[in-house]
Amino acid sequence: MGLNDSQRQRYARHLVLPAIGEAGQEKLLAGRVLVVGLGGLGSPAALYLAAAGVGTLGLMDADVVEPSNLQRQILHATPDIGRPKTESAAEKIRALNPDVRVRRYTERFARDSAPALLRDYDFVVDATDNFASKYFIPEACHAAGRAYSHAGIQAFVGQTLTVLPGRTACYRCLFEGPVPPDPETPRGPLGAVPGVMGALQAAEAVKYLLGIGELLVNRLLVYDALAATFREIPVRRNPACPLCAA
Ligand SMILES: [Zn+2]
């Protein structure tokens, strides 16, 4: 297939990296990533994936843009208040990189539509902000055999883990109990915290598509913005995991 001249210019900084190069860029252009949640995590994740030239981006969110989102959800701007997040996000992504095919899903990640949906994607970025989704997305990815990146945020702390279902420790290996209730009042966060974590999720998706480097598997990465520390907690598959135990 090969890159055209404008693509050679756009992706010049990838092309000079031996681990990417033209062959890698073609892989990215053929790559398909679903971003579930277009908020604090999904904004940087989707923007970096689009900028990197990931050829197909699924953008899923059922909500509309609210004023309180703008403190951290950098896909959306003040004139977008009241618009569906998928519409606002798709517009920004298309403006950033016309190479990206955008598919909009203005809906929640749902049990009945998940199997067909996941067949169209190589990797899933869980950028949701509620426990029900955080429990359900791993289930659906496990059933579909799709790799995914988990991330969660609270106040000044973020955590992230990449999962290859059936091969590495999964989200439910770590959190095996029933779905906990979401906090009644949102605990922040500081906007830059999901910014950092969403960027890490985008990097994981790109590495997965390219097959390069070491994925963030079997270790939970915890970022504490107040302490300015990154900690790695080794994790392993849980023989009692309600999801991936043999
Ligand atoms: Zn598990």
Q: What is the pLDDT of residues 30-79, one digit of tens each?
A: 999 999 999 999 999 999 999 999 999 999 999 999 999 999 999 999 99
Q: Is the pLDDT of residue 186 over 90?
A: no
Angle at CA of residue 85, ends 88 and 215, nearest 5°? 100
Between the CA of 96 and the centroid of ligand 1 the distance, in Å, is 37
**CA of 166 relative to ligand 1 center, distance in Å:** 7
Residue-wise pLDDT tens digits, 153-165: 999 999 999 999 9
Rounded to the nearest whole angstrom, what is the distance from the C-alpha of residue 159 to the centroid of ligand 1?
A: 17
The predicted pLDDT at position 182 comes to: 84
How much distance in Å is there from the Cα of 238 to the middle of ligand 1? 6
Q: Could you tell me the distance, in angstroms and rounded to a whole number, from the CA of residue 99 to the centre of ligand 1?
A: 36
Per the listing, tokens 């904004």 go with: 43
- At residue 178, the pLDDT reads 85
- Domain extents for the chain? 31-234
CATH class of 31-234: alpha beta
How remote is the CA of residue 161 from the centroid of ligand 1, in Å? 12
* pLDDT for the residue numbered 185: 80
* Most confident by average pLDDT, 98-102, 129-133, 240-244: 98-102
Q: What is the pTM of this model?
A: 0.97
